[in-house]
């Protein structure tokens, strides 16, 4: 199909707004901002950091007029049924025709950029669509119409794009959540959702965000990092990876602990690559974002309550149901509440080899968080009983952290060894050795063994996994 013979779908005039009719953008009372300058992929060179919002110019007014005509004339229901590439070609052709009428003086590169912005407005997420297409960007944050940031290589940068006003932001919010059956309004001013590609989205609107609606998008990586990739970027060392591989193979229960944006999910995906392909895996998430390499994977996703407050399916219910699905492994994307109790029960009743993540700043804090979440389940158990459950269920904790230079690294690989009095005892098997900062501000250091051999070392021999006898000697890997 070529652009010359394409007849773009025209709207059939109606007296109302049918199900396929898109809301016409409402003009703002303020001067229209710029929409022609869109960020391009800047892999290999320094990103542009803009000190403030881009200035308004005539291009944005042209874009607004063309977009308004497209909404009025296009048959959006037909566009929704088209493949993405075909719909983009149709809108591109229509926008070029209208632009020739509205602004015949715009041509060349300026016209192409304007057309791309218009197509993004009709089919994508408006001004932030180019940021989402940039593979080097990992997160996009809309704080206000003229305050947009993005993360690249662990660093935040001001984006040279903007929305017209709060109404414009809300129109994009509706485009994100409406296909998912979610809602956001004054009675429910917060919502978690995901884009078609799996990217996580959080939206907060007034009155709890009084200045402006806020959008935070954590982009989904199509090319999941493997352990080899983590080694290459310095997130961990080869010996540490070999040890984690062995721990997964002998079905140690592993908790990955870390702060927000530290790389917990990335590490979980990498560790899942060590699970044998003949095992049945059940994943439990809210929302679903794991993409395991195995074929025999059942994905379960929690569901929020409906508009009437009914039909909610929590992660705790999914953990209970997973036990009836004959799993070899249960992977909980993130433990947040009462499901921690059910997860510990599963780990203690023959479902070993489980992997999960938790928000915490150290391995010790990770255990404390699990204890607190067990209490959230409403179980009136003494603290010692809870800690005994945790000590017997959790075998290993892997701590990940994001450093000031933007890098993400494993800082601790720790073993839970049991109870001593009222306390859970732990020992570090590998630990990050911080060696300073280079002249470019990059963190220097690497994971080294602490000299302690794990208490379950014999399990490796029983499973036929032959680790070097001196693997845990610090001197062996000092120069590695």
| Statement to judge: residues 156 and 233 lie in one domain | no
- From 52-66, 177-191, 418-432, 435-449, the region with the lowest mean pLDDT: 52-66
Planar angle of CA 178, 183, 186, nearest 5 degrees: 140
Total number of domains in the chain: 2
User: What are the strands, taking DSSP E only, across 175-260?
Assistant: 190-194, 200-204, 214-218, 254-258
* Residue at 23 is within a domain: no
Fill in the DSSP letter of residue 229: H
What CATH number is associated with residue 133?
Answer: 3.30.450.380
* Residue at 189 is within a domain: yes
The answer to whether residues 330 and 393 touch, using CB atoms and an 8 Å cutoff, is no
Which domain-ending residue is among 218, 248, 263? 218
Handedness of CA 194, 67, 168, 159 (dihedral sign): positive
| Statement to judge: residues 239 and 378 lie in one domain | yes
| Statement to judge: residues 322 and 189 lie in one domain | no
* Residue at 419 is within a domain: yes
The answer to whether residues 127 and 25 touch, using CB atoms and an 8 Å cutoff, is no
Of 220, 270, 263, nearest in space to 248 by CA: 270
pLDDT per residue over 242-263, tens digit each?
Answer: 999 999 999 999 999 999 888 8
| Statement to judge: residues 127 and 171 lie in one domain | yes
Of 296, 302, 227, nearest in space to 268 by CA: 227
- With the CA atoms of 392, 398, 404 and 407 taken in that order, what torsion angle do they form, in degrees rounded to the nearest 10? -160
What CATH number is associated with residue 472?
Answer: 3.40.50.300
Mean pLDDT of 275-284: 93
* Residue at 206 is within a domain: yes
Which domain-ending residue is among 195, 218, 241? 218
* Residue at 13 is within a domain: no
pLDDT at 41: 39
* Residue at 39 is within a domain: no
| Statement to judge: residues 183 and 270 lie in one domain | no
* Residue at 33 is within a domain: no
Tokens of 187: 């009675």
| Statement to judge: residues 92 and 164 lie in one domain | yes
pLDDT per residue over 136-190, tens digit each?
Answer: 999 999 999 999 999 998 889 999 988 988 998 998 999 888 877 778 888 889 9
| Statement to judge: residues 63 and 120 lie in one domain | yes
| Statement to judge: residues 231 and 209 lie in one domain | no
| Statement to judge: residues 173 and 282 lie in one domain | no
| Statement to judge: residues 64 and 170 lie in one domain | yes
Q: Provide the residue range defining the domain that includes 442.
A: 227-477
- Dihedrals phi, psi of 230, to nearest 5 degrees: -65, -35
Distance in angstroms (rounded) separating the CA atoms of residues 404 and 438:
13
Of 381, 374, 392, nearest in space to 336 by CA: 374
| Statement to judge: residues 186 and 277 lie in one domain | no
Of 217, 216, 195, 241, nearest in space to 84 by CA: 195
Average pLDDT, whole number, for the chain? 81
* Residue at 47 is within a domain: no
Of 293, 304, 337, nearest in space to 319 by CA: 337
């Amino acid at each position: 199909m070529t652009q010359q013979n394409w007849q773009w779908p025209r709207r059939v005039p109606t007296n109302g707004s049918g199900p396929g009719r898109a809301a016409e953008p409402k003009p703002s009372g303020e001067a229209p901002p710029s929409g022609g300058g869109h960020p391009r992929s800047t892999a290999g060179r320094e990103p542009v950091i803009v000190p403030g919002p881009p200035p308004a110019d005539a291009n944005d007014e042209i874009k607004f007029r063309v977009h308004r005509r497209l909404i009025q004339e296009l048959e959006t229901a037909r566009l929704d049924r088209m493949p993405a590439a075909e719909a983009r070609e149709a809108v591109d052709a229509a926008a070029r025709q209208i632009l020739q009428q509205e602004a015949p003086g715009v041509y060349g590169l300026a016209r192409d950029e304007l057309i791309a912005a218009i197509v993004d407005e009709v089919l994508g997420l408006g001004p932030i669509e180019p940021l989402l297409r940039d593979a080097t960007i990992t997160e996009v944050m809309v704080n206000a119409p003229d305050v947009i940031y993005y993360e690249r290589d662990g660093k935040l940068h001001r984006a040279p794009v903007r929305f017209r006003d709060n109404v414009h932001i809300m129109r994009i919010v509706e485009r994100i959540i409406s296909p998912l059956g979610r809602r956001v309004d004054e009675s429910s001013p917060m919502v978690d959702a995901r884009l078609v590609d799996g990217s996580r989205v959080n939206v907060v609107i007034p009155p709890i965000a009084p200045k402006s609606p806020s959008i935070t998008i954590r982009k989904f990586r199509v090319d999941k990092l493997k352990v080899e990739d983590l080694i290459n970027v310095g997130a961990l060392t080869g010996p540490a990876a070999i040890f984690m591989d062995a721990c997964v193979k002998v079905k140690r229960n592993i908790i990955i602990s870390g702060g927000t944006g530290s790389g917990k999910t990335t590490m979980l995906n990498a560790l899942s690559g060590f699970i044998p392909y003949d095992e049945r895996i059940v994943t439990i998430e809210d929302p679903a974002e794991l993409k395991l390499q195995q074929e025999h994977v059942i994905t379960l996703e929690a569901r929020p309550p409906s508009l009437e407050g009914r039909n909610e399916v929590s992660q705790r219910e999914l953990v209970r149901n997973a036990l009836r699905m004959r799993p070899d492994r249960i992977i909980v994307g993130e433990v947040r509440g009462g499901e921690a109790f059910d997860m510990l029960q599963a780990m203690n009743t023959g479902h070993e080899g489980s992997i999960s993540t938790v928000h915490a700043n150290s391995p010790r804090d990770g255990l404390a968080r699990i204890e607190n979440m067990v209490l959230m389940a409403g179980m009136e158990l003494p603290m010692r009983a809870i800690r005994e459950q945790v000590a017997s269920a959790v075998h290993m904790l892997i701590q990940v952290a994001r450093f000031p230079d933007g890098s993400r690294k494993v800082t601790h690989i720790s073993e839970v060894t049991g109870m001593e009095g009222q306390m859970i005892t732990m020992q570090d098997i590998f630990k990050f050795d911080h060696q300073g900062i280079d002249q470019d501000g990059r963190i220097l250091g690497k994971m080294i063994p602490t000299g302690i051999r794990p208490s379950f070392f014999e399990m490796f021999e029983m499973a036929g996994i032959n680790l070097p006898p001196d693997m845990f000697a610090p001197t062996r890997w000092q120069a590695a």
